[in-house]
Amino acid sequence: LAKTTQPISMDSYEGQEVNITCSHNNIATNDYITWYQQFPSQGPRFIIQGYKTKVTNEVASLFIPADRKSSTLSLPRVSLSDTAVYYCLVGDGNTPLVFGKGTRLSVIA
């Protein structure tokens, strides 16, 4: 299972774009990259998933370079309600979700 490394915490002001980068140097050919969000005392919530290049949905964008050894979750114009822990997960669908410690994003007014 590919190991992921992401910053422990980040701070941002409201209205700014936030980019959280995740390293996954030993990602396998069949692996996808998935990001989940977790608010305090709530279950994780799926944000976005990708395999390569760029994926965008109504919540975020996911940028994956050609070598796929890293990925960047981009949150446009964050608000206080985006304060949460963000998890980067890598896998091929045949193994359970393995959560790391994630990145704790604090949005400041």
Partner 1 sequence: EPEVTQTPSHQVTQMGQEVILRCVPISNHLYFYWYRQILGQKVEFLVSFYNNEISEKSEIFDDQFSVERPDGSNFTLKIRSTKLEDSAMYFCASSSLAGGWNEQFFGPGTRLTVL
Q: Binding residues for partner 1, per CB under 8 A?
A: 32, 34, 38, 41-46, 49, 87, 91-102
Rounded least distance, CB 9 to partner 1, Å: 14
47 and 37 Cβ atoms separated by less than 8 Å: yes
Rounded least distance, CB 84 to partner 1, Å: 13
Q: Which one, 13 or 46, has the nearer CB to partner 1?
A: 46
Rounded least distance, CB 95 to partner 1, Å: 6
Backbone angles phi, psi at 68, to 5 degrees: 60, 15
Q: DSSP characters for 14-42?
A: TT--EEEEEE-TT--TT-EEEEEEE-TTS
Q: Which one, 37 or 70, has the nearer CB to partner 1?
A: 37
Q: Which one, 44 or 62, has the nearer CB to partner 1?
A: 44
